[in-house]
Structure 1
Amino acid sequence: MSGSINMLSMDAGTKAIDALWQRSNVISDNVANADTPGYQQKSVSFEDQLSQAISDGSLSAGELDSVSPQVQVESGTISSSDSNGVDMETQMVELMRNQLQYSYLTRGVSDQLSMLKTAASGGEG
């Protein structure tokens, strides 16, 4: 049973890494279009979906498969007809936060893989 829990945990971590990668791309798009008139800032929603999927205390592989990052256009972010609502300071903070989360999760998944490798080799190597 614990083996399946570890694999599900690793699968959830991998999905979260993919979502953070997508968020990084969306933030980069926002930054690149900061001076584009009429551009609407976008964001990625993922954590709320994952939290909802595990809210009952159990998470199956099927439920995890249904959780995927969603790109959303921020409504009402255009401040005037010749500009947009991209706040560069906020985007830079979000990019840094996203990079830290990405580094943390990749390290966690890597550590899980190392533990599985050690277990598979009988504790040697």
Structure 2
Amino acid sequence: MLNKSFDRINLLNKALDGAWLKNSAISNNIANVNTPGYKRQTVNFEEVLRTEIAKSSSAQMIKTNPKHMDHMGNGQISIEEQANTSYRVDDNNVDIDVENAEMAKNTLYYNAVINSVNGQYSRLKSVFNINK
């Protein structure tokens, strides 16, 4: 039971890291909304998190041939630049309305994950108090 709880906490920790990195990327986008040539940054943590959840909840797959595709990503959260679009004449592709909506969405997500972490720690605390 404790292993599952700590695995869940570790997964939530990775989610918080990704949400924090996404917040930084969105903040950079907002700060550079009027910078000519600036390209919007995105974070791939949702895909990485889905991969980690699938990895922890399913049977491990074995690669039997080097030509087979890997079933999981590398688990690395990264910032990616969207260099292939441009909304304005100055080659900037940041839309302030989209960024503000993404910031609000990410803030709600971060707070929900924090609540989940607090719940996990409360459950662990109650288990340890019962066993005293």
Q: TM-score range by the shorter chain?
A: 0.7 to 0.9
What is the CA-CA distance between 1:55 and the residue it aligns to?
A: 3.0
The one-letter code of the counterpart of 1:46 is: F
C-alpha deviation, 1:19, in angstroms: 0.6
TM-score by length of 1: 0.84
Shift of 1:74: 0.8
Q: Is the 8 A contact 1:44 1:72 kept in 2?
A: yes
The answer for the alignment partner of 1:15 in structure 2 is 14
Identify the residue that residue 33 of structure 2 maps to in structure 1: 34
2:107 — aligned with what? 99
Across the two proteins, how many residue pairs are aligned to each other? 118
Q: Is the contact made by 1:53 and 1:59 (CA closer than 8 Å) also made in structure 2?
A: no
1:58 aligned partner, one-letter code: S
Residue in 1 that maps onto 2:49: 50
Where do 4+ consecutive residues of structure 1 move more than 4 Å? none
Deviation at 1:76, TM superposition (A): 1.5
Deviation sequence 1:42-77 (CA, Å, 0-9, x none): 0000121222344363389xxxxx623210001223
CA contact (8 A) 2:14 2:49 kept: no
TM-score by length of 2: 0.80
Deviations 1:92-120 (A, max 9, x none): 11000000000000010011001111111
* Aligned mates of 1:59, 1:81 — CA distance in 2: 50
Q: In the aligned structure 2, how far is the partner of 1:59 from the partner of 1:18? A: 25
Aligned residue number for residue 77 of structure 1? 85
SS of residue in 2 equivalent to 1:72: strand
1:111 aligned partner: 119
SS at match of 2:105: helix
Percent identity between the aligned chains?
Answer: 28
- Which residue matches 1:121? 129
The alpha-carbon distance between structure 1 residues 21 and 59, as it changes in their structure 2 partners (threshold 3 A), is farther
